[in-house]
Chain A
Amino acid sequence: NAGVMQNPRHLVRRRGQEARLRCSPMKGHSHVYWYRQLPEEGLKFMVYLQKENIIDESGMPKERFSAEFPKEGPSILRIQQVVRGDSAAYFCASSPTQGGRETQYFGPGTRLLVL
């Protein structure tokens, strides 16, 4: 079991560009969560998805941010027209489809730097 995979690990964008962050959950996991972490701060919940469904997006900014988890392929967190304040580490976590849904396992994160 390869664990939760995220790519890229580091992403540099200029203001106004788009950032696409990918997350592949662990095998047997169909729940995906995205968190943002600023330096020296905690994990801020952004969005919770299951395959083809957004379950809870209460932590995601209404503008410029979107997330999807298609039937095939990884979950994508998209940030359009990035600004310097979007610079952060973005972590994805997944949890099992059956049993123990509460237990989340984190990926290595994508560190986004906006110049």
Chain B
Amino acid sequence: DTGVSQDPRHKITKRGQNVTFRCDPISEHNRLYWYRQTLGQGPEFLTYFQNEAQLEKSRLLSDRFSAERPKGSFSTLEIQRTEQGDSAMYLCASSQGGAGNSPLHFGNGTRLTVT
């Protein structure tokens, strides 16, 4: 078990640029989640996948955000035309779906700074 891996760890970008983050979940986990955490706050749910299907999206996920999990393994989160308000830690988590005994395993996150 190598854990959930996220890349890059840090990203600094200028306002208006596009950025893409990658998440590699634990290999046997079929569910993958994206959360956003701003300074001094707890994580907020953005979206989740079961295998390759994106099953739920938060209202926090504006049209500038898109997430994919094309083969049901790794996932990407893209932010287009970044804004300063997008600066946050983006956390990925995975779990083995099913009943309630499947806690989330989080990656170390990608910290985005928009200048």
Q: Do A and B bind each other?
A: no
- Spell out B's residues near A (CB within 8 Å): none
- Spell out A's residues near B (CB within 8 Å): none
